[in-house]
Structure 1
C-alpha cells in the first residue's frame, strides 16, 4: 500500500510539474508582450525581460496606436465578425447536432461523415475558389465575406462536439417532455441547450481564438481600410526597414484582452466540457 501511495504521489507530482511548465511556456510570450508594451523603445531592447520602472515606463505605444491609426475601427470590425460568427456557429451547429443525434433518417451517416470531412480538410486549400465566389457575389471588402467563411470553417467542429454531448442526454428526459406535450423547438431550446452549456462554452472558446487571430482571410477578402481587423491593422506598424515596436506591442496587448476576458468568464464551463469529453 505504501509503495502504491508513493508511486501515485510521484505520478501526481510529475503531472503537476509538467502542467506548470506548459503553463509558463504558454503564458510567457503573452506576459512578455504586455510588459514591454508599457516600456520605452530603448528599454525594450536593453532588457526585454525587466519589468517597467519609473524611468522606463512609457505609454507612447498606446498613444500612437490610438492616435495614428484607426484601431477602434479595426477592433470593432474584429468584434463584429467574431461575435456574429460565434452566434451563427453555435446556433446552426447545435441545431445540426440535434438533428444528427436525435433523428435517424436516410443519409444521416453520410451527412455526419461530410461534416467530419470538413474538420480534416483545411478551408485555406479552397482560398482561390472562395475568392472567386466572393468576387462574383460582390462581397469582397465586406465583413459579410469573413463571417460566411468563418461560419463554414467552424461548423464541422461544433457539430461533432455538440452531437457527442447530445447523445449522452438520457432519452427518458426527452420522452417525458414529449409526453407532456412540449414541442421539439422547446425541447431543444429549454431542455437540451441548458444541459450542454459546458460543450457550448468549449466550442465558443475553441472557435473564437482562430477567428480573432486570423490574418489569412482578412488579408485576402477584406484588406480595405474600412474592413480591416485588428490582426491586419497591426501590420501597418511593421515595416521592411523600420518597425515601431512600441505600437506593435501596444496593439497586440489591446488585441489579446478580449480573448483573456472570454476565457475568464467561460473557464469553468470550458474545463467542465473538456473533462466531460475526456471521460466520454
Structure 2
C-alpha cells in the first residue's frame, strides 16, 4: 500500500512539474500572440494584459498579409516539412528494419557509418550541396530542400528506429513468415504499427529543425515563389523592425503552426521517449 501511494505521489509530482515547465516554456509565446492583437501604445503600456475592446487591433496582421505572401510561405513550409518527414520515416524505417533483422558481414560497421551523420552537421557540406543542386537544376525548387532535409534526418531516424525494431518479438515475425506473409507485409503490417511511437518521436525531432531552418532556404531557395515561412518572416521582420505590430504578427504566424504540429505528435512522442523506461 505504501509503495502504491508513493508511486502515485511521484507520478503526481512529475505531472505537476511537467505542467509547470510547459507553462514557463509557453509564456513567451503567449506574450507574443496576445500583443500581436494590440495597438502599438497598448503593447508598451500593458504588455502582459489581454487585448480588450480599446486595445484590440489587427493592423499587424493586415500589414503582414498586404506586404508579404505569407499563405504561399506557409504552403511551401508545409510541403517541405511533410515531404521531408515522409521520406525520412519511409527510408529510415526500411534501413532500420534491414539492419535490425538481417545479419550480414559489415552490419555493425554500416550502422555505425550511418550513425556518424548525427555527429557531423550537414552544413559543413553546404558548398558541395549547392554545387550539386546547381548541376541538377534544383536550385529555387522545393525538391532541393526536401532532399537536403531527408539526408539530414536519416541518420537519427535509422539510429532510433533500429533500436526499437530490435525489441520487436522475433516469434511474431516468424509466425508471419509461417503464415506465408512476405517480408514487405511483415514490415508494413507487423513491425511498423509496433514502432509507431518511435516514428512519432523521430518525426517531432526532425519536424522542428526543418520548419525553423533558415540556412538552407536562404541558400537553396531564395526566390519569392519558394520561400519558406521562416525565411519570409525573417526578411519581413528585417524590413519592418520598428513596426512592432507587424513584427509580432509575423512571429505569431511562424510560431503557431509549430505548436499545432507538436501538439498532434506529443502523445506519441512521450510514449516513444518513455518506452522501456518503466517495466
TM-score, scaled to structure 2:
0.91
Cα drift, residue 117 of structure 1: 0.5
Question: Counterpart of 2:81?
Answer: 82
More displaced 10-residue stretch of structure 1: 248-257 or 78-87: 248-257
> How do 1:159-238 residues align onto structure 2 when only pairs under 5 Å count?
159-238=158-237
Say which SS state the counterpart of residue 105 (structure 2) adopts.
coil
**Distance change >3 Å, CA 189–CA 84, structure 1 → 2:** same
CA contact (8 A) 2:68 2:236 kept: no
CA contact (8 A) 1:161 1:203 kept: yes
Say which SS state the counterpart of residue 75 (structure 1) adopts.
helix
Cα drift, residue 152 of structure 1: 0.6
Which stretches in structure 2 are left out of the alignment for 5+ residues?
Answer: none
Q: How many residue pairs are counted as aligned between the two chains?
A: 279
Which stretches in structure 1 are left out of the alignment for 5+ residues?
Answer: none
Cα drift, residue 242 of structure 1: 4.2
CA contact (8 A) 1:38 1:58 kept: yes
**Where in structure 1 do 4 or more consecutive aligned residues deviate above 6 Å?**
4-14
More displaced 10-residue stretch of structure 1: 17-26 or 225-234: 17-26
Cα drift, residue 7 of structure 1: 8.4
Cα drift, residue 10 of structure 1: 8.2
Question: Counterpart of 2:30?
Answer: 31
Say which SS state the counterpart of residue 39 (structure 1) adopts.
coil
More displaced 10-residue stretch of structure 1: 202-211 or 172-181: 202-211
In 2, the alpha carbon distance for the partners of 1:176 and 1:11 equals: 40
**Distance change >3 Å, CA 122–CA 61, structure 1 → 2:** same
TM-score, scaled to structure 1:
0.91
CA contact (8 A) 2:237 2:250 kept: no
**Distance change >3 Å, CA 205–CA 131, structure 1 → 2:** same
Question: Counterpart of 1:258?
Answer: 257
Cα drift, residue 137 of structure 1: 1.9
More displaced 10-residue stretch of structure 1: 209-218 or 22-31: 22-31
1:272 aligns with 2:278: no
